[in-house]
Amino acid sequence: MTDGSMNKSHAYIISSQDAAVRENTALELAQAMVCDRGGAEACGVCAQCRRALAGVHPDIIFIDRLTDDKGKRRREIYVDQIRGMSADVWVRPQQSDRKVYIIREANLLNQAAQNAALKILEEPPAYAVFILCVNSAEELLPTVRSRCVEIRESGTVCRAENKEAEELVDTAVSGDAAALCEYCWKCETLDSEKSAELIESCRAYLSGAICRGASSGVSRGEAVRLLGVFDIAAEYLRMNVGAKHVWGYISVSAI
């Protein structure tokens, strides 16, 4: 794919208590990644999309718990499975420009497996995308979470936590750089705690936009792109970067 909004990250965490919601979101994202049209969302009709919908696309690979000799699923996803994924990732895609790995129960990665995943998340080939499905992102190591864009799915219609967050996101989506700069300039007066609250509200609103799709007024691709910006901003605040600098980053990166 060549669309910049979908190339913003090579790794995503999809968190939801509903396994069906997690998997459906992961499949929609993977389908968009391999779609021939290269747009922010899958076209649903090209050959790549049809293979993805049929569950037979060779460049969408699932990592699941193994079964024992009695057919019972093992309790964890083991390090050898992730090492196998890390070796396979260097084999170029067969039919698409992207190669997508979906780890359905990433919360069951044991610590050794997470550490092995971290190595490939840090320096993957440009065509690789990883989607980790979990009940909650907190089940993963902080080092793994820091390499990913998180998409939180509730399975229900999500709303912004406050009107300021919705207004900020809408200003960024409008493409009006001057208006966004003015908005962020006003936010520079907020302290780190208030800035963190507003940025977290923006992240929640964008996760809801991804959940709702086109009905939110923000395309899924644009919501994913902006969520990546606000995830980085939140990480900067956690690293004690000054709020003024963080809002300066948002004003430049969110357009």
Residue with the bigger pLDDT between 38 and 215: it is: 38
How far apart are alpha carbons 157 and 212 in whole angstroms?
6
pLDDT per residue over 63-96, tens digit each? 999 988 888 888 899 999 999 999 999 999 999 9
pLDDT per residue over 165-174, tens digit each? 888 988 998 8
How far apart are alpha carbons 204 and 151 in whole angstroms?
9
SS3 at position 213: helix
What was the pLDDT predicted at 99? Answer: 95
Amino acid identity, residue 205? Y
What distance lies between CA 224 and its chain's CA centroid?
7
Contact (Cβ atoms closer than 8 angstroms) between residue 216 and residue 209: yes
pLDDT surpasses 50 at 4: no
Confidence of residue 204 (pLDDT cuts 50, 70, 90): confident
**HSE toward the beta carbon, residue 19, CA cutoff 13 A:** 5
By percentage, how much of the chain surpasses pLDDT 90?
A: 37
The distance in angstroms from the start CA to the end CA of the chain is 21
Contact (Cβ atoms closer than 8 angstroms) between residue 59 and residue 51: no
Lowest mean pLDDT among 109-118, 132-141, 214-223: 214-223
pLDDT per residue over 97-131, tens digit each? 999 999 999 999 999 999 999 989 988 999 999 99
E strand or H helix that includes residue 51: helix 47-54
Amino acid identity, residue 245? H
Contact (Cβ atoms closer than 8 angstroms) between residue 159 and residue 128: no
What was the pLDDT predicted at 216? Answer: 55
Confidence (pTM): 0.64
